[in-house]
Structures are given as structure tokens and as C-alpha cells.
Amino acid sequence: MPRWRAFFSHYLRWSSTVTQALVLSVITFCIVLPLCCHQLLYSYFFIKSMYLDSMSEDVLRDSLNQGQDALRFWQSASTTAAGSSRFSNIAQHPELLVTVVTVRRKEGRDFHYLLQVMQQLSGIVGGCGERRCAELLVCDVESGPQENQDAKLLENHFRVIRRSPQEQQTVREQINTFEREKRDYVFCVRKGWELVKPKNMVVLEDDALPREDFFRVVKDLLSRRFALQTLYIKLYHPERLQHYWNPEPYRILEWVGLGLVGATALLLGFPYWNPFSFSFTLSVGHLVFFTLYFMAAAELLGRHYLLEVRRLSPQLYAVSPATECCTPAMLYPGNASLRVAEYLDGTFCVKGNAKDIVLYQMARTTPGETSHSVEPNLITHIGAFSSVRPNPSRPKLL
């Protein structure tokens, strides 16, 4: 018998674990996952050419409808006395202050992002018992000749702070977009602290829509020991950047751990349930294969979707070292917001060195400072149209 025929007859019988591993891999990665994941936005199997445009349009349409609903909600609320005074008075030294930074948008005005965010906050802020979960503050940093109409509408319901006319003249000097954005952020952080002296502060950008469990998770985070020593806790990281295949060391460890747990559980379960008569055993070779199998399946499916399981309980949310990108939702425990304002004040921001990069570098290089991120995200970033950067005519989800 020729050697090649002897090789195939020996190794490619169904009783051979090599054959079983090969068939299982082909079925999983070439049939099952592509069929199940081709419409999942953050999966490697997502077919952009078929679905991205239509999904982007659907999200834009839904966001527009929600924005118009929020506009009607606040307009109708202005006619009731209770709605006009419910959040206007801010208590001193609250456990948590949520400051929403907003500016007039030249594009996407009809989406009313700020109104959507404040409607959501007003709905969930009462979910902490007799006392509401936080005090709410709107910081309008518009310095142009036209008013921020959404912030103007909210004056009947919330405390809205702005720069004085003299301060606005200073801000109008010719500086780049990134430095202006940083100065606006610092103004809101300092003004919020001076106004009520909160024990902890959350700063949201006006297109950061909190999830229903936002305050429950923030409360749990603040009760953990690490919060006393951290400069900030990021409450959002872009979903497209949440893959395991990433230079972040903790994600590699998480990835390998997931593969080992899945492989061990499967091999231990085969003696009790094995409908396809697999001949795998709890050996080193088989453990390595299934560890790599589960790691590949998890990465190709999309880590973002696996993280969603953690929403079952606030205690399941993971805390890890902070990542570099983006500051739409930041939690500053204790008086950390004041240190953040000082750090930002000491740096001039330009393209490639925006405020998120500055904070990340400060936390890494300043002795005694640390920073963290929480996963999954506590907010949904609904801002398809940026207020500070050029926008495409029809924004895409990716």
C-alpha cells in the first residue's frame, strides 16, 4: 500500500482525533460561525458590503426619531410646574454629581443628543431609593454668537452653567479644536466642583447616553477598594477596539483563561454527554487544541458580545487598566477631578495629543497615579455627528 494511502487510512478515520479535530474546526469556522455572525457588527464575519450601509441608516433614523421624541418630551414638560423644578435645585456635597458637557452642534441638530441624554438621566436617577442617585448639572460651553438651543430649553428643568461674557471673550481667541475642547472640559470640571463640592463626579459628553444600570454600577465601582487610589475610571471604550487581539496584556490573559476554562469543561463533559462519539480525552494535546479552538471562536465571534453577559449584575462588571482612547464618560472618585483639571491645564493639546491622550500619559507617568476602565460600557455613544471634528455626509457605524 502506498505511504500516502496508509497515512490517510490511519489518520483520517472518524475514530482518529486528528480527523475529528479537523472536521470540528471546518464546521465551526467555515459554516456555523459565518452563518451566525455575518450580521454582527463587531464580529470578524460581519459582511460590510452587504449590511453596513443599511444598518447605519437604520441607526441614524432611530436616533433621529428618539431625538424628536426627546424634544417633545422636554417641551411638554415645560408646561408643568413639577417638571420645571424637579432638578433645578442641587444639594451641596452630594455623593455623586453628573456634569454633562454640551456645545451647539452645527450638524446633526435635529438629533438633539443632549435632550436624549438628559431624558435618560432624569428617568434613571430616581432608581436608588428615597434619595436620587445623583445631582445633575448641564455645562454649556458654547462661545459662538448663536445660542445652544437644547441647553436653553433645559434651563427650565436643570441647573445650566456657562462662562461669563468676559470668559467667553477669552475662549474666542484663535486656538486649535483640541485645545478648545480641553479648556471647555476643564471649565466644566472645575465649575461643577466649585458649585456643590461633590464627593465623586461623573463627566459625560452630551452624546453619551447612559444605560439603565448606569447608577447601580457606578455605586458598586465606588464601593470597591481600588476606587480610592485611582485618578479616573473610564466608563466607555469603542466597541470596535474591544477585541482580544490587542496589545493590552490583561486581555491576552483573559483570552487564554477563557480558552482553558472552555476546553477543560468540554473535555470533562465528554464522558457524560458525547452524541458524536468524539474520542477526545483530558490530555495535554487535546487540552491545547480546545484551548486554541475556544480562543479562536471567541475572537472571531467578537469579545464585545461576550462582555454583554456581565450585565447580569453590577458585581460582574470587569475593571482593568485604562485604555488610551476617548473620554465621553469618565468617573472621578473623591477629589480626583481637581487633579485632572490641573494636569490638563499644564498641557497644550494638539492633534495627536488630545485630552484623552494627555490623561492616559499622566496616569502612567505620574508617581502614585493609576487609571482604570470598566467593561462592558456603561454608556452608548449616540453621537454620529461630531461637534468638534469634520463629519461625513452620512456617518457610518464603522
Chain segment 152-162, per-residue pLDDT in tens: 999 989 999 99
The answer on pLDDT for 33 being more than 80 is yes
Q: What is the mean pLDDT of residues 188-193?
A: 96
| Choice between 40 and 107, residue whose per-residue pLDDT is larger | 40
Q: What is the residue whose three cell numbers read 428617568?
A: 123
Residue-range domain boundaries for the chain: 56-231+330-356
Q: Categorize the per-residue pLDDT at 55 as very low, low, confident or very high, splitting at 50, 70 and 90.
A: very high
341: confidence class by pLDDT, cuts 50, 70, 90:
very high
What is the arithmetic mean of pLDDT over 224-239? 94
Mean per-residue pLDDT, 230-255: 92
Position 180 pLDDT exceeds 70: yes
CATH 2.30.30 fits 56-231+330-356, yes or no: no
What does the longest C-alpha to C-alpha distance in the chain come to? 94
Q: In what order do the strands lie in the sheet with 200-205?
A: 159-161, 135-140, 97-102, 200-205, 329-333, 232-234, 371-375, 318-321
* DSSP three-state, residue 280: coil
Stretch 196-218: mean pLDDT: 97
Contact 367, 21 (CB under 8 A): no
Looking at residue 176, the DSSP 8-state letter turns out to be -
Burial class (CB in 10 A: 0-12, 13-18, 19+), 31: exposed
What's the pLDDT at 149?
Answer: 94
Across 121-135, 256-270, 310-324, least confident range? 121-135
Region 196-225: mean pLDDT is 96
d(CA 232, CA 69): 33
Q: How confident is the model at residue 91 (pLDDT cuts 50, 70, 90)?
A: confident
Contact residues for 189 (Cβ-Cβ < 8 A; gap 6+) = 99, 201, 203, 332, 337, 338, 340, 341
The pLDDT, as a whole number, for residue 185 is 96
Phi, psi of 227 (to 5 degrees): -65, -25
> C-alpha cell of 21?
479535530
| pLDDT at position 11 | 55
Average pLDDT of span 245-270: 92
Q: How far is CA 269 from CA 103, 128, 187, 272, 307, in A?
A: 57, 43, 58, 6, 24
The C-alpha atoms of residue 2 and residue 130 are separated, in whole angstroms, by: 82
Predicted confidence (pLDDT) at residue 212 exceeds the cutoff of 90? yes
Banded pLDDT at 311 (limits 50, 70, 90): very high
Which three-class secondary structure state does DSSP give residue 99? strand
Per-residue confidence band for 220, with pLDDT thresholds at 50, 70 and 90: very high
